[in-house]
A = this chain, B = another copy of it.
Amino acid sequence: MSELKLVPRRKERLGDLIYGQILERILSGALKEGDKLPSESEICRSSQVSRPTVREALMRLHADGLVTTRQGSGTYVQHRPSEHLTRLAKASDIAEMLRCFEVRLGLEGQAANLAAQRRTAAQLDRIFKTLDVLRGAFAGGSVPARMDFDFHLAVAEASGNPLFGEMLETLNGTIQHIMAVALGITRAGSQERGRRVFDEHEAVAEAIRQGDAEAAALTMRYHIHRARQRLTDGQRDL
Contact = CB atoms under 8 A, between A and B. Distances in A.
Nearest to A16: B162
Nearest to A224: B218
Contacts of A60: 118, 160
Interface in A154-195: 159-164, 167, 170-171, 192, 195
A103 B218 contact: no
A100 to B, nearest CB: 7
Contacts of A161: 99, 102-103
B107 A103 contact: yes
Given A110-B103, A122-B52, A170-B170, A160 B59 contact: yes
The main secondary structure of chain A at its interface with chain B is helix
9 contacts: A53-B120, A59-B117, A59-B118, A62-B210, A102-B159, A107-B110, A170-B170, A213-B214, A219-B222
A160 B15 contact: yes
A34 interface: no
Nearest to A113: B214
Contact of A102 (B68, B114, B170, B195): B114
A170 B26 CA distance: 35
A106 B221 CA distance: 11
Contacts of A15: 160
A-side interface size class: 35 or more
Contacts of A121: 52
Nearest to A59: B118
B222 A120 contact: no
Contacts of A122: 52
A13 B161 CA distance: 11
Interface string A51-87: 0110110011011010010010000000000000000
Contact of A55 (B63, B120, B170): B120
Contact of A106 (B13, B107, B118, B211): B107
A109 interface: yes
B214 A218 contact: no
